[in-house]
Amino acid sequence: MQDYDLIVIGSGPSGRRAAVQAAKLGKNVLVVDKGRQLGGVSVHTGTIPSKTLRETVLNLSGWRERGFYGRGYRVKQDIVMADLVARLRKTLDHEVEVLQHQFMRNAVRSQKAMARFTDTNRIALTTEDGVNSEVGFANALISVGTPHRPDNIPFDRTRVLDSDEVLELETLPRTLTVIGGGVIGVEYATIFSALDVPVTLIESRQSILDFVDRELVDDFMHQLRDRGVVLRLGAAVKEVKVLPNGVETLLADGRVVRTDILLYAAGRTGNVGSLGLEAIGIKPDSRGRIPVDPQTFQTAVPHIYATGDVIGFPSLASTSMEQGRVAACHAFGVALPPPPQTFPYGIYAVPEISTVGESEEEVRKRGEAYECGVARFRETSRGHIMGVDSGFLKLIFSLETRRLLGAHIVGEGATELIHIGQAVINLGGTVDFFVNNTFNYPTLAEAYKIAGLDAWNRMARL
């Protein structure tokens, strides 16, 4: 039996980041993944595929140019799934190649197998061919994915799909139902809507994207309705029926939605059933999420860590990577400075949404006096040049300290622009930074100065 300093179960963002970090500390590392290739859900069915699909759709549909040429404008008139898959395959092959080279360069070993804990220092491995072996470890990291397939949803990979299967579609649906108003559901709903596929988005809560500033969400939902997306909010799904020519979704309030295809993207469940956690005293919750120390990511067994989607919110690739790095450093006694208080969220919908820091609702709930500044992208020269007719940036400042408390963006380039706000918040910057500094002209980033001046004018009067 071979022993390792660190065994990582799962090769998604947090797993691979932890493995490379440990290897750079001179440790002996093994990554175990049951998937066909390294990369996990993020590379093969999640983050990278969905963002690649989005970019392909925006390019082929001519979405970004419709502000100039009208809603009927298209770069390619007849877009088929083969157009979307061609770019997707090329991107995924490149991602896997980069990951394999990274592991090779850092002497990280990997094995395709199912992993199961036999005790707190040993893992049994089973390959696809049924070959069994056992390895020992000083530390372990659990970074498995989180699929969610409720028993009452008749998944068939043809009419009713989950978010991992939607990329297997052979033809574009004529109409689409999406169940789930979280990040994944919203992203896919808007991507297909950009292809002019009629979409119905169902969410049992009264609103979508509950963690995002309400003003942004209200504007976002207005844009969705304006382009024909039907929102069915506040009603749970009672039953889903597969019909010979489509799917029928019955809601608890009696409404019925009939479409060609249904995508289920409501919630995630930790893929921990086969890990043998009961043998080591780790108890996941009802959704398969593993409780951890929020600073070190240690589980109930101190030398076994868990990171990524399997520990729950925020379940972002970006935060998962950092969690993996922090866990690996802690496991081998490397002291790290306290992490920044804020980190950005990126939602790759059409249009993009990105946010960092506190929302207006959170600031108001704390009782702190504040002021907001807003800049509409259509007010910027770059916005005119790009044909952008929607989207805005919202900044929230403390009246007492003048510091930036939150930055929130909906619109083109939001996930890139947000990092300016992130830097200013984490460095303790104030409204004066935006007022007194020069931004390249013409750029969308100039919206920061416009929003800063908007808030400054109100704050000066006070």
- Express each pLDDT in 329-347 by its tens digit: 999 999 888 877 789 999 9
Helix (H, G, I), strand (E, B) or coil at 424: helix
Candidate from 26-40, 319-333, 419-433 with smallest mean pLDDT: 26-40
β-strand pairing of 353-357 with 345-347: antiparallel
Whose tokens are 């997707």? That residue is 88
Architecture per CATH, 345-461: 2-Layer Sandwich (3.30)
Q: Which of 275, 309, 311, 268 is nearest to 290 (CA)?
A: 311
> pTM for this one?
0.89
Question: Domain 2-147+269-331, what fold?
Answer: FAD/NAD(P)-binding domain (3.50.50)
- The whole-angstrom separation of Cα 62 and Cα 414 is 19
- The whole-angstrom separation of Cα 190 and Cα 89 is 22
Identical fold for domains 160-264 and 345-461, yes or no, is: no
What does the pLDDT read at residue 44? 46
160-264 carries CATH number 3.30.360.10: no
Q: Where are the domains of the chain?
A: 2-147+269-331, 160-264, 345-461
Dihedral sign for Cα atoms in the order 322, 327, 332, 337: positive
Query: If you average pLDDT over residues 182-192, what whole number do you get?
Result: 92
- Express each pLDDT in 425-456 by its tens digit: 999 999 999 999 999 999 999 999 999 999 99
Dmax (CA) for the chain in angstroms is: 74
- 193 secondary structure, DSSP code: H
- Express each pLDDT in 35-46 by its tens digit: 765 655 555 456
What does the pLDDT read at residue 176? 97
